Structure 1
Amino acid sequence: MLPSTSDYLLKNARVPLSLLEHKSIAQSASSVTAAAGTQIDFCMVDLEIVAGAIAQIIPASQEDLFPIVDKPIVDLCNGLVLPCFVDMHTHLDKGHIWERSPNPDGTFASAINAVRADAQKHWNAEDVYRRMQFGLKCSYAHGTKAIRTHIDAAGEQGTVSLAVFAALQAEWRDRLILQAVSLVSLDYFLTPAGEKLADKIAEIGGILGGVAYMNSDLDKQLDRVFSLAQERGLNLDFHTDETDDPKSTTLREVAKTAIRHEFSGQIICGHCCSLAVQPPELVTETLTLVNEANIGIVSLPMCNLYLQDRQSGRTPRWRGVTLLHELKAAAIPVAVASDNCRDPFYGFGDHDVLEVLNMAARIAHLDRPWEDWPRTVTETPADLMGLPNLGRIKVGLPADLILFKARNFSELLSRSQRDRTVVRQGKEIDTTLPDYRELDDLLQEDSAVETASIQTKPADAG
């Protein structure tokens, strides 16, 4: 589709209004209004690419004011252009074990047990490396530029998996930005091993994280992990309230601890499901604290829809997602991400962030109006991950783009968009997905090499 050169003009592109960095250009560009109502969703522009970067963004209404561009022209015929995706909450080390260790009843408890057993039997360095590598291939082909993955980090398993992550981070550095978060139960940080883990995370430039549960020592656990992070200059990323229990208020406790410690680093809290079943006065109190603590929230709509409110023989009554609209209205940054992929916590998925946006729009009603909800998989997670030049379309930035034939959100989210064109630094990449057969030998029960060194159970969360 694109010329072999990295200098060309993309004509007749529709860019979501919220993703154009230069608001003056957005305001002057001719806009496409939704069929019903006056909501402006897109800007019509031409994008000049020079040496693999965005050199000009030319509003369609002002084409006559710019000199004629003497280079190849690609007419997008009003197709959508998005910046490459940012997937800020994944579990690459757990991925693609479903055929080997399926969830017997689809419940959260069974997912924990199945992953624990699989890790104890199979998770040597080669196994973890090849499954994580498979996930990265999928993400790259679909158009993702940056990924944050939680890594089960306790004991010897943590040593193995973090070493694998470091190797993949180096191998993929020219294609993907990878960040690692430690995943352990917070009581782990009350032990000497927890302090050593914090040192290791600082050594690899990672993010300190863990699973927060309601328990009598939660305040002590949170104080400890905040102190470890402050001492090492680390950001924090927690799993909070992945439950339908209204009494689960770990998000509120994280916020209170952040305020008490005057924590200046970035804090992310994922899931936050119980917020949706709590009384209004508690929700208001929690959102006020979260805002004051400058916490970003990431919702995982596909995994939570799969696990939450699952009981045998009974239709689920709720969707499991957090209060995205209320969080956004409270000026709290919200993102959505893919979470688990083809493991006991979520038996489906393909590391495609477009699918995440698609599902989030349907589950959480993000579409009327669209406003800036496309930022939840682009600009907002990029900012929360400390990557201010990702997830937006701006003059001077690399031409890391995804080109679609779809001309509006209805067309975009009604088909899989397997024919998308992914552009990295102005060049079209190969979007062929890896074949599942690449992992067949790993998924045979008698193929994995058991190692006595892998003894520690993974953290009890997806």
Structure 2
Amino acid sequence: MTLDLVIRQARLADGAAPVDIGIAAGRVAAIAPRIETDAPARAAGGNRVIRGLVDSHLHLDKACLMDRAANPSGTLKGAIAAVSAAKRGFTHDDILARGARVLEMAIGQGTNLVRSQVEIDPAIGLTGFEAVRQLKADHAWALDLQICVFPQEGMLNLPGTEALLIRALQEGADLLGGCPYTDTDPEGQIARLFAIARDFDIDLDFHLDFDLDPSWRHLDAVARQAIAHGWQGRVAVGHVTKLSMLPPGRLEESLALMRDAGVALTVLPSTDLFMTGRDHDHAVPRGVAPAHRAEACGVCATIATNNVLNPFTPFGDGSLTRMANLYANVAQLGAEADLARVFAMVSDAPARLLGRDPAIAVGQPADLVLLPAVSGAEAVATVARPLWGLKAGRPSFEHPAPVLHRPG
């Protein structure tokens, strides 16, 4: 067998023995304890190799806005207003530059599959979508990008928004999002988005229930529509910070509802911690939905970045191992098995949610990332930054381990 490259001593699963991975024509061609070949080699050193980290919820069009969009209150309402004012001045090239900055951060942190949320409304039109569509093409050498168009400021209350969403879908958007809590008719928006999704045969991804008041929610309406349309397994909901305020019995009922309706949960720890609980002056609630409890209940649970350097989240470096570590701290998870499950929420679980098989197997594209850790649990515990990555067998980034210069 003629190989283009061989990866030596790669650990493909936690606790598994290291193996060699042979690559030819951009795909995995062989996996064996030892591959005899004269092909160039990369050493994995017994560390964990994965197909890549997956960011299931990332906003590229409104990233890196700290120089022009202030949110002194730190609230969700303040962030929406600040970005609403700023985006009237967005241009194609501006979005392209800011989005590229974030994607390049993510690539260097080992992410090679992203779902980007893109705002659509009469104020911005399709400018954000068109720029992110170009980002998708420009960065295909390193990652795969899904585009989810959604109405951040409402749909039924903003005439013309629905028509723009449909145009974006006709022009290549991959799926449709929603934000019912900003609409004057939240349940009407949910129903209409399901109808459009059915017409285009696409998945849905909602921003949902982003506050700490458990007395009302839109989760039930989403679950009902998912079942009614037969869209189980094709719907995700992000934030859902209300879940963090439920006592055990009510939480179990809510997670069972999500499981039975096939609704996935995406938790966004950095944004949710930053924005929620600001009306408390002590005993401030965390406001982070319990992804690990959702996963234990049978719900597809993922952890993602959401926003980077903007009024919703004024920090970020594109690191999903950092985000997983942040979640583990908030959820007070420290056992190895628990940390392994958290790692799966930034790798295997979001890969499946976005339609990718996370397994490294013969015949699969040689999209590979090396972690400086022998397991996913160790990667979360140490906030491991990946050392290098391949996309279709071609190097996409390198981040060598530091070299210490001892005296003498």
Q: Secondary structure at the match of 1:429?
A: strand
Residue among 169, 172, 194 paired with 1:202: 169
Change (3 A) 1:192 1:348: closer
Q: How far has the Cα of 1:316 moved from its partner?
A: 5.6
Helix, strand or coil at the partner of 2:178:
strand
**1:138-149 mapped onto 2 (5 Å cutoff):** 138-149=105-116
Partner of 1:14: 11
Q: CA–CA distance in 2 between the matches of 1:179 and 1:190?
A: 27
- Give the aligned residue type for 2:45: C
CA pair 72-161 structure 1, distance change in 2 beyond 3 A: closer
* 8 A contact 1:342–1:349 mirrored in 2: yes
| 1:110 equivalent in structure 2 | 78
Amino acid across the alignment from 1:376: M
Of the three residues 38, 45, 48, the one matched with 1:77 is: 45
Correspondence for 2:265 among 297, 312, 323: 297
Alignment correspondent of 2:59: 91
Q: Confirm or deny: 8 A CA contact 1:141 1:431 kept in the other structure.
A: yes
Residues 89-112 of structure 1 show CA distances to partners (whole Å, capped at 9, x for unaligned) of: 011111011133243243323222
Structure 1: how far apart are the matches of 2:150 and 2:158?
15
C-alpha spacing 1:229/1:190, structure 2 compared with 1 (3 Å): farther
Higher relative contact order (CA 8 A, sep 6+): 1
Gapped regions of structure 2 (runs ≥ 5)? 400-408
Please give the residue correspondences for 1:209-358 in structure 2 after superposition, counting only pairs within 5 Å.
Answer: 209-213=177-181, 217-263=185-231, 266-311=234-279, 314=281, 317-358=284-325
2:11 partner amino acid: R
Cα-to-partner distance string for 1:230-251 (whole Å, 9 max, x where unaligned): 1222221101111111123212
CA distance in structure 2 between the aligned counterparts of 1:266 and 1:316, rounded to whole angstroms: 37
Structure 2: how far apart are the matches of 1:288 and 1:163?
38
Q: Deviations over 1:48-84 (max 9, x none)?
A: 33343222333xxxx4xx6644444444332222221
Q: Is the 8 A contact 2:23 2:366 kept in 1?
A: yes
Q: 1:239 is aligned with what amino acid? A: H
Higher Cα Rg: structure 1 or 2?
1
Counterpart of 2:351? 382
The correspondence for 1:45, drawn from 11, 19, 40, is 19
C-alpha offsets along residues 264-299 of structure 1, whole Å, 9 cap, x if unaligned? 671110111101212444333322221222111111
One-letter amino acid matched to 1:104: P
Distance 1:7 1:156, change over 3 A: same
Aligned partner of 1:142: which letter?
Q
Question: What one-letter code is carried by the residue in structure 1 that aligns with 2:95?
Answer: V
Aligned with residue 29 of structure 2, among 39, 52, 55: 55
SS of the residue 1:188 aligns to = coil
Match of 2:148, SS?
Answer: strand
Aligned residues of 1:305 and 1:320 also touching (Cα < 8 A): yes
CA gap of 1:230–1:407, structure 2 versus 1, over 3 A, is: closer
Q: Which amino acid aligns with 1:384?
A: L
Identity %: 29
CA distance in 1: counterparts of 2:77 and 2:109, whole angstroms: 31
SS at match of 1:127: helix
How much does 1:408 deviate? 4.4
Aligned length: 395
Aligned equivalent of 2:92: 125
Question: Contact 2:95 / 2:128 at 8 angstroms: preserved in 1?
Answer: yes
Q: Is the aligned partner of 1:412 residue 2:379?
A: yes
**Which TM-score applies when normalising by structure 1?**
0.77
- Cα distance in 1 between the residues matched to 2:235 and 2:203: 6
Residues in 1 aligned to 2:302 and 2:346: alpha-carbon distance in whole angstroms:
6
1:165 maps to which residue?
Answer: 132
- After TM superposition, give the deviation of residue 87 of structure 1 in Å: 0.8
Secondary structure at the counterpart of residue 362 of structure 2: coil
CA deviation string 1:87-137 (max 9, x = no partner) = 1101111101113324324332322222222223x3122221211122222
Q: Cα RMSD (Å) of the superposition? A: 2.8
8 Å Cα contact 1:86/1:377 also seen in 2: yes
Q: Is the 8 A contact 1:214 1:250 kept in 2?
A: no
Residue 367 of structure 1, CA deviation = 4.3
Q: CA deviation at 1:6?
A: 6.6
Unaligned runs of 5+ in 1: 18-30, 32-41, 433-462
